[in-house]
Structure 1
Amino acid sequence: MSEQLPEGGIVLSPAEIEALDARWSSCWTPSEVARRLKGVTAPWAVAAGWALDLFRGKQTREHGDLEIAIPAARFPEIRLPGYIFDAVSSGRIWENATDEVLAATHQTWLRDPATDNYLVDVFREPHDGDTWICRHNETIRLPYTEIIRRTADGIPYLAPEIVLLFKAKHTRPKDETDFAATIPHLTDGQRTTLTELIARTYPGHRWLDDLPETYIRCV
């Protein structure tokens, strides 16, 4: 993925960015996106806050949108007929994004042209074949088979330790809430993995105080 953003796009003011929330009011649920993507063989998965709720088996808070992750090279497999993908980055939107724009960004919003509402936020993730590469730390590389879990009814979602690694970057209020609510449900192995991932990516992060001290001492 290029670090140089392409020309063009619509530059949004802070007020316009805030107003976008209303356009997510009719976003899909995890079950709806799973229905729409039935038959897609690419290793896609629900991400972010919804993934943690799927892990816990119930919705624990309101979600302003729905995010899914997919290997960047396999993004064409989820091009749904009748809908448009807009690319977003750094406060800009490229409507009906071209391949050039897609190659230089990683976040894509699926838009219903009939209403102009957004339905799902797609992260096009770096990867090496069937190996996922963490955008925030390229030394972290894991097989998709290890980071994707499924609910009892088959909805794929990112493993909680991967979701919390991403949330550790910003630690917004909702990220803090998700961390505190999820940690008690992790197995010892998941807690150790999360500790390793955060320690490698964000040394000294305050969340490490609530994770296994035995691992921190040997990093």
Structure 2
Amino acid sequence: MLDHDEAVRLYGRWRHRTPADAVELFKGYPGFWWIAGGWAIEAFTGKPRPHGDLDPSILRSEVALLRRHLTSRFDVWAADKGTLRPLIGEADEAISSTCGNLWLRESAADPWEYDVLLMDATMSMWTYKRDARIRRRTADIVWNRDGINYLRPEIQLLHKAPGLRAQDQEDFRACLPLLNDSDRRWLRAAILVAHPNHPWLKEL
């Protein structure tokens, strides 16, 4: 996995965006969206942290819906295993099942604006992308603060668990004392299934 500085060197810089910007981006969007990544951690802990980009997230099944929503506003690129490909066909054009992100920018002369994460979920059920045994009702993967949906911290930490980057460790330490018993038990059980030798298990 590339760190932020190396990704910027290779692909270009990112414009600073906040969750309030995402609200404007998705105004009128008929699908389901929320904020994931570092901004979701910050919303939960209340502790400011560095941000390389903003990670709104949508259901993988609603890519065409988002592309139609963004028509004439942003170019949409599929980020798939380290490669970038512009989506220039019809909105219903299929993307690879391994594509995990959509990068948005106005043109090649502009910085990237949003890194949209594609979640493996239907309107009824979410499935962890690294282990399909871990599932949860889609309605239960988000929480709301100030009118904005955020990915729940225990699920965000599960997604961060394989990386064990310094920032992931800091996010885990910041969230751990704030997780209630139920969410802590869920995270421990999920990591035990998907990443059974993970060092966070001892602290959970």
**Both structures adopt the same fold (TM-score exceeding 0.5):** yes
Q: Which amino acid aligns with 1:42?
A: G
CA RMSD of aligned residues (A): 2.2
Deviations 1:110-161 (A, max 9, x none): 112174311111122222442111111111121121011111x211110000
1:77 corresponds in structure 2 to 65
In structure 2, how many angstroms separate the alpha carbons of the residues matched to 1:172 and 1:116?
A: 29
Kindly provide the amino acid, as one letter, of the partner of residue 180 in structure 2.
Answer: T
Measure how far apart 1:42 and its partner are: 2.4
Deviation string for 1:37-72 (max 9, x for gaps)?
Answer: 1333422111111111111235x2110011122111
| Residue number in structure 2 paired with 1:45 | 34
TM-score by length of 1: 0.81
Counting helix residues as a fraction of each chain, which structure ranks higher?
A: 1
**Match 2:124 to one of 108, 122, 130:** 130
Partners of 1:109 and 1:122 within 8 A in 2: yes
Equivalent position amino acid for 1:63 in 2: H
- 1:55 partner amino acid: F
What are the within-5 Å matches in structure 2 for residues 82-101 of structure 1?
82-96=73-87, 98=89, 99-101=93-95
> Is residue 180 of structure 2 the alignment partner of residue 187 of structure 1?
yes
Query: Amino acid of the residue matched to residue 111 of structure 1?
Result: R
What letter matches 1:142 in structure 2? Answer: R
Identity of aligned residues (%): 34
Instruction: Report how many residues are paired.
Output: 195
Give the equivalent residue in structure 2 for 1:34: 23
Larger Rg: 1
Equivalent-residue separation in structure 2 for 1:150 and 1:165 (angstroms) = 19
| 3-state SS of 1:124 partner | strand
Contact 2:34 2:58 in 1 (8 A): yes
Distance 2:167 2:193 in 1: 23
Which whole-Å CA distance do the structure 1 matches of 2:46 and 2:159 have between them? 21
Describe the SS at the equivalent of 2:58.
strand
Tell me the alpha carbon deviations over residues 172-198 of structure 1, each in whole angstroms, 9 at most, x when there is no partner.
110001101111111111111111111
Gaps of 5+ in 2: none
- Cα shift at 1:106: 2.2
In the alignment, structure 1 segments of 5+ residues that lack a partner are 1-14, 212-219
State the alpha-carbon separation in 2 of the partners of residues 29 and 77 from structure 1. Answer: 22
* Aligned 8 A contact 1:27 1:118 in 2: no
Match of 2:162, SS?
A: helix
Check if 1:17 corresponds to 2:10: no
SS for the counterpart of 1:23 is coil
